[in-house]
Structure 1
């Protein structure tokens, strides 16, 4: 266990943790709601499945481009409110408003009109969301310089972020309820405004209450203007090149890519297994079991798993905590073979506490370790600090992998013989699907452990780097 106590000046006050956590709730709620709402493009607005796929994929490509640009801008911004907070404030407002506008579709409009309306406002929404999300992540990396306090901050934020995943699985139940809305289209329009209002109100809190490092005397920041656009792009690519040479950071990206996207590839499989294996294609019989499965997972992740992982990190260090939590998640994946029992649906919750260690440990620990990596980069490459760039590239890897996982997940469904419009599936198909549901995330998790086995940025090394930076900056 670490014997180093966190200095008072490095502790993040509970109010700031709560505000930062509110930002993370929004960070999870917006994409979570977007994912569930996309289902209704087909059922409520009659969108062609291919066009709906384009509306899901094209904005992701645009999003991958804007993230590093926003990271570079926020790293080099000079303002009396700091480098991140102005963008978080404006981005939260834009994200909320544009999310609501995005879903004001009408089934009576032509398919072409709805396609272009949704595509244009998706791009505008993503600009606002990137303006909010990328600086928020960067702000979290700089709120404390203490090795263990970083983990506690990220644990707190990710606990609040899990609230979004307790809520979003129920959107499809609420929107499709004829007692609440005249039709699904009306449900989507009205629920989008509820989500938007919540995101706007919660999203501005980090901008108002959270404090990053004092950047007033930070050297070597680039001028951001239309006149310097060309040189800014050159500097951006130089910064990305520097980040890509940071071996500890690339290990974090590789492990995240494997764990998260192994999980994402099979994320929808649980729904299909519950409906077609446990209830033999009877959607009414399956009822709200899939929603409860997702909600219980989020509850256990937030209030049981993340606190345990924070304790593990304090006791054994972040690398070992990641390895142990990932091993536990593999146990959970294997237990799904016995948990999905047609004779007793309650058994499906047995693997959940074990599986929750996967993503619960991943983002709590990886975000904390990325903050340590930012210190290493400053030591090697000097100012300005690049929290925004590191955060943008990390999440770019996540989004790229997520897009790939969605494609590969569909390929796996095709390979096992799953027929989407069939009322039931063959026993051979369901057996193969259940094997894939266990094998894919288990294998990718094991590979992630291998990637992180020789991760070198220990607590002792992080403390040594911090002392060198304090001496270099002339801080007391």
Structure 2
């Protein structure tokens, strides 16, 4: 249920906020990119702090659960306001509204997501069970991303104009609230584990986490792939309207991107159980990169071929969500076994900071590509774009993400914890 909240907030701003700024408020592409990036960049600082605070929270409900409710309700309220800015007849004031409210949303999200991601390492100590738990989480995440990402443009277009964005924001805020309350109530009987954050300041804890080699490698891989995903999400609306030129194709593209995850998440889980998480993660990454590269033909290929390429991206994306989330608790648990201290909150704080940075920089990087292509902003959503802008949209959606994903594999290839855990599973007595 927590994935309902994280999926909605993680998807809709990345999909809708940049077009809202450039094509409804008339904000220049570079400035719009900064508005999207800066609040998320703030999370890079805030997420480790949120993790440290949740590690040190003392509450009969557990260290994490109170934050699910407090921060989750604040997140839903903030999201309802994000697209609900009044008509101020000033581009500066309207842009400032978006920046301030999005900053408040990002702050609330940090205090929801970090405890939420930390909980699996405390709910179960079993290596295989964590993969199964993450499989369910990613399946619900994919369903939510599909639901939110596919319906948000439909709601906007059905109502039209700024009112369309306002109604869409209210609906998505309600969806977030459902996930928040469900996660809080649904974990009331779950094992909460013993949280012992260990001695030292936050800086001391971060220094220890930074010294965990496998964690650094896994995080770098995931951040680069989050950057690639952020570029593609930001480009969906632009690719649909300015390259494909088809009504409702944004929804179809998004369904192609996320839909395979609903069917293939259990398949990737089975592959991981057979060949190991790292090898399966590598395979999923290559499939994602291949699909993105094929999407570079969007300007000349039939629309159906573009949809098929994006569906191939979705096949890889399913695995690229399952495995890093299943490997993160392994890293935190290995540290706890070695040190006797539970730093899951700090690990997940740094992790979610990296993920947030990647997903935030993705739209910012895509906005920079738009600016280099001379993209023309407006307030009506139907501004004719030069050929250079159309080419920039295509490359920013396809080639750039493919290169980022392939580059990330340099770090993943050096991750070794998965091999060690496989040996322990195969030879438990020798490991003991």
Of 295, 309, 315, the match for 2:268: 309
Q: How does 1:277-356 map to 2 (within 5 A)?
A: 277-279=243-245, 286-304=246-264, 306-337=265-296, 340=298, 344-356=302-314
Q: TM-score, normalised by structure 2?
A: 0.85
Q: Is the 8 A contact 1:278 1:341 kept in 2?
A: yes
- CA offset digits 1:221-263 (Å, max 9, x no partner): 56xxxxxxxxxxx611111111111011111111112222134
- Structure 2: state its 5+ residue gaps: 378-382
- CA offset digits 1:142-200 (Å, max 9, x no partner): 222111221121121111112233232432332233xxx4x533333333222222211
Q: Is the 8 A contact 2:15 2:234 kept in 1?
A: no
Deviates more, 1:446-455 or 1:435-444: 435-444
Q: How does 1:404-443 map to 2 (within 5 A)?
A: 404-415=361-372, 417-420=373-376, 423-426=384-387, 434=394, 437-443=397-403
- CA offset digits 1:276-310 (Å, max 9, x no partner): 4444xxxxxx1111221112221112222x12210
3-state SS, counterpart of residue 423 of structure 1: coil
Q: Name the count of aligned residue pairs.
A: 421
- For 2:290 and 2:27, the matched residues in 1 are separated by 40
Alignment pair present for 1:152 and 2:132: yes
Q: TM-score, normalised by structure 1?
A: 0.78
Of 105, 130, 136, the match for 2:85: 105
3-state SS, counterpart of residue 455 of structure 1: coil
Counterpart position of 2:9: 30
- For 2:309 and 2:286, the matched residues in 1 are separated by 13
User: Relative contact order: is structure 1 or structure 2 higher (C-alpha 8 Å, sep ≥ 6)?
Assistant: 2
Alignment pair present for 1:454 and 2:409: no
- CA offset digits 1:80-138 (Å, max 9, x no partner): 11110111122222211222234432114655554554444333333322221111111
- For 1:94 and 1:267, the matched residues in 2 are separated by 25
Counterpart position of 1:141: 121
Counterpart position of 1:172: 153
Counterpart position of 2:380: none
- For 1:319 and 1:25, the matched residues in 2 are separated by 26
- For 2:418 and 2:54, the matched residues in 1 are separated by 28
- For 2:235 and 2:192, the matched residues in 1 are separated by 47
Higher helix share: 2
Of 183, 203, 206, the match for 1:240: 206
RMSD: 3.2
- Mark the structure with the bigger radius of gyration: 1
Distance 1:253 1:361, change over 3 A: same
Q: CA deviation at 1:320?
A: 0.9
3-state SS, counterpart of residue 417 of structure 2: coil
